[in-house]
Amino acid sequence: MIPLLSQYLLKRAGEFNLLERVISRLNHLFLNPLQDFFVGLFHTASRTPRVLWIPPAIILLLISVRVVMPLAGRDLMPPMDTGIIKISFETQPNLSLNQVEAIVSRMEGIIRKTPGYIRMATMVGSEPGVISFGAERTPQQGLMTVHFVDRFHRRETIWEIEEHLRREFSRIPGLKYVHVYDFGATPFSSIAAPVDVMISGPDARVLDRLAGEVKARLLKVRGLTTVSRSWDLEKREVWVILDLERLKHYGLTPLAVSEALRAAFSGAVAGILRVPGEDGYTLRVRSSSHLPVLPHPGDHHGGHSPFAHRGHLGAPHHGQALLHAGHDGDDFSGGDRGQQLHHSY
């Protein structure tokens, strides 16, 4: 197309139409004098002592700090309605996987009723035995990716749909927080947390109180859609307190008991299902017994005894997610957080 149109676009030198003559006249009236001004300023500065130009340079620096710096890093591209929405959510920390799945099903029902819905993918929790760095999700945390039709085939914009989903999700009991944001091709869409506040200290209870105060202040900031905490003291943690004398009587060690508990909750690898041409699938076996009556095989007496014969349980409250900041600033989180729900429509 370009070679065919070039004969109409290209002209001989000096031949201008009306629009080109107007633009050329503006160029001579404004751009050329401005160019001559900066060129003359450079020649003047090169012929005079440099000390005389330090005060004007400082004044220009102050002006640039006041005017130019606020623009640095700002999203200068217009937002794009790509029709893709991300939903990050977390339920109450002590809910079971079945209760979390019921809440997720209710959220998916609301999304399906939204006009323009095409498909979505939902992932809750993380895979057992997989250790990640900083992005590990607990069984009560999940992420959704929802696709809608393009803007030409729906009335509402993607931001109006997000506001509608926030209102509907806020009525679901058991949801701790839910973030609804658009996914697109603009720089702003890649920012996960425009305002991120980090508090550190040795006392967890003091940190929990300070985090609550910071959250209450952030909720008063205009323009913030949702505010959430990445850590709190609402997670109920079960401590297993073993009776060492009874363990010695049965010929067991704390390590053997921990392996049995791990196999009961997270499952133990029993084998690999071989698939020709693909990586094998790990087969896990998990006990269906409850913890107080969980048997522990392998003792010298050749039988099984309830867990109550080996120790007792404690139920303190701990943080929602156990994180440890390394010397290099990396966040290491444990991998055995429970099962994973992963499906798409």
Where residue 335 falls among pLDDT bands split at 50, 70, 90?
A: very low
CA distance 3 to 260: 76
What fold does the segment set 238-315 form as a domain?
Answer: 3.30.2090
Q: Is 5 or 294 the better-scoring residue by pLDDT?
A: 5
Give me the mean pLDDT over the 273-280 stretch.
Answer: 83
CA distance 97 to 174: 13
Give me the mean pLDDT over the 13-32 stretch.
Answer: 79
Extract the tokens encoding 296. Answer: 């522990």
Give me the mean pLDDT over the 261-278 stretch.
Answer: 80
**For residue 180, is pLDDT > 50?**
yes
Integer CA distances (angstroms), 6 to 15, 48, 324, in order: 15, 50, 64
**Of the ranges 20-24, 87-91, 128-132, 338-342, which one carries the lowest mean pLDDT score?**
338-342
Helices then strands, each counted (H, E), the chain: 9, 13
Highest mean pLDDT range out of 48-52, 85-89, 274-278? 85-89
Is-same-fold flag (84-232+338-344; 238-315)? no
Q: Which residue has the tokens 């939902």?
A: 122
Length reported for the chain: 345
Average pLDDT value over all residues in the chain: 75
pLDDT tens-digit readout, 135-177: 567 788 889 999 999 988 899 999 899 999 999 999 999 998 8
CA distance 203 to 92: 23
DSSP strands (E only) in 274-316: 281-285, 311-314
pLDDT tens-digit readout, 197-232: 888 888 888 988 999 899 999 888 887 878 888 877
The CATH code that applies to domain 84-232+338-344 is 3.30.70.1430
Instruction: State pTM to two decimals.
Output: 0.58
- Ordered by start, the domain boundaries in the chain are 16-71, 84-232+338-344, 238-315
